[in-house]
Amino acid sequence: MSESAPSRPRLSAPPPAGQVVVDPATGRPAGRPQVTVLLLSSCLAVLGSVLLAPVLPAIEDAFAGTPGVQALTPIVLTAPALVIGLTAMIAGRIVDRVGRKRLLVSALVAYAVVGTAPLWLDSLELIVASRVLVGLTEAAIMTCCTTLLADYFSGPERERYFGYQVVCTTVAATLFFGLGGALGESSWRAPFWLYAVSLPLAVLAARHIWQPATGPAARTGKLPALPWHQLAAPVGVTLFGGLVFYVLIVELSFKLDALGVESTGTIGAVSAIGSLGTAAGAFAFGRLTRLGPVVTIPVAFLLSGLGLIGLAMASSVPVVAACAVVTGLGNGLLLPALLSWALGSLGFEQRGRATGVWTSALFLGQFVCPLVVLALSGALDGLGSALTVLGALSVVAAVGVRLARPTAVAAH
């Protein structure tokens, strides 16, 4: 191919104007090394939420003599997500004030220390405390990774990597669930060794991640105010979106159980099919991003809602699997579209705090999801009715976002 022939630039090539920023120290554009570190580090949050699920019964048996063991054991799994929801906003402020790289490297090292702590802790209370600390480090890691992707790239490149972030975390969730079960065969403590994977990532981050050029706030110490009038809508919708996103993950196995499916292999296979749908939706986001969040968000909510309604009415495993794919497609589109909406027009010194607020909303939505489903199931006629209501609300959200056409969305 001649030098004048048009071609899409590779990550290592000179950046397209306005899409990729350069390292202020070396003049090199952000590229494959930075993206690899950030996407792999983003997967650490799902490590905390799914890795230990297969060994929870063994943990409960190991601490059977502990008062309140039945209440404390599930917290081992859910504590990190709640802590992320409560503290990501604080992490975002630290990101904007002290810098992205320093916090990311420190959090990756701390993650390995507190994540592996249960290997030698003999108290369930101390293990729960260590899981709270894991959530703190995950809040910092997720906020840093997402903020840096938004820093390094803009336009279609940024949207593409937001989609890849969802793909990576979805695939990682499936992988970690299997690893947790395999390692748990030998001991309930064995899965905690996987938390040490953040140490090589810390080394790679220290080598490849660089702090983007700072603005006036770095010199004056004053951060520009966040445009709350602009953030309120995407953050509020993300709170509901986090709930919708998590319904399939939490409730799919219960739906299959209600149909009489007892095989863990079948449940795992259907769950994996749903995860593939999520990955496909996230991949598709890169091609649909030109339509803007005003289109992608309603489409995402519509697919997720119709999938949940179909799941509620499904009476056979193949239909459940098909509805899981439809829901997954919507979920895969939803998160990068919401993130794109929230961060689309913010400046460098606002981006960390905005990412923290968005991350908090997402994880709080995920945390309350099982509580909402449980409440609806009790108030209505079981799980099927709860799924129908949430699916219908998702369709309403799709129509609402489309009709409202908020300025920030339409102008993206």
Residue spans of the chain under pLDDT 70: 1-19, 49, 213-223, 264-265, 345, 405-412
pTM to 2 decimal places: 0.77
DSSP letter for each residue of 271-295: HHHHHHHHHHHHHHHHHHGGG-HHH
Taking the C-alpha atoms of residue 91 and residue 142, their distance in angstroms, rounded to an integer, is: 9
Burial classification of residue 392, based on how many CB atoms lie within 10 Å of its CB (0-12 exposed, 13-18 middle, 19 or more buried): middle
Query: What pLDDT is recorded for position 11?
Result: 33
pLDDT of residue 405: 66
Angle at 77 between CA 263 and CA 326, to 5 degrees: 55
For 113, the token pair is: 């220390």
Looking at residue 265, what is its pLDDT?
A: 67
Q: Spell out the residues 6+ positions from residue 192 whose beta carbon is closer than 8 angstroms to its own.
A: 115, 116, 117, 118, 119
Q: What distances in angstroms separate CA 101 from CA 142, 148, 166, 273, 368, one per listed residue?
A: 12, 9, 22, 36, 31
Question: So what's the pLDDT on residue 16?
Answer: 45
**226-412 has the same fold as 29-211:** yes
- What whole-number distance in Å separates Cα of residue 167 and Cα of residue 186? 30
| Ramachandran quadrant class, 7 (left: phi over 0; alpha: psi -120 to 50; beta: rest) | beta
Question: Residue 215's pLDDT is what?
Answer: 54
CATH of 226-412, one of 1.20.1250.20, 3.30.40.10, 1.20.1090.10, 2.60.40.10: 1.20.1250.20
DSSP three-state, residue 153: strand
pLDDT at 176: 79
The dihedral formed by the CA atoms of 314, 317, 321 and 323, expressed in degrees to the nearest 10: 0
Predicted local distance difference test score (pLDDT) of residue 1: 39
| Angstrom distance (rounded) from CA 78 to CA 18 | 40
Q: What is the DSSP letter of 315?
A: -
Tokens of 150: 């938004």
Domain 29-211, what architecture? Up-down Bundle (1.20)
Domain assignments of the chain as residue spans, ordered by start? 29-211, 226-412
pLDDT tens, position by position, 370-383: 888 888 988 888 88
Cα separation, 270 vs 256, in Å, equals 9
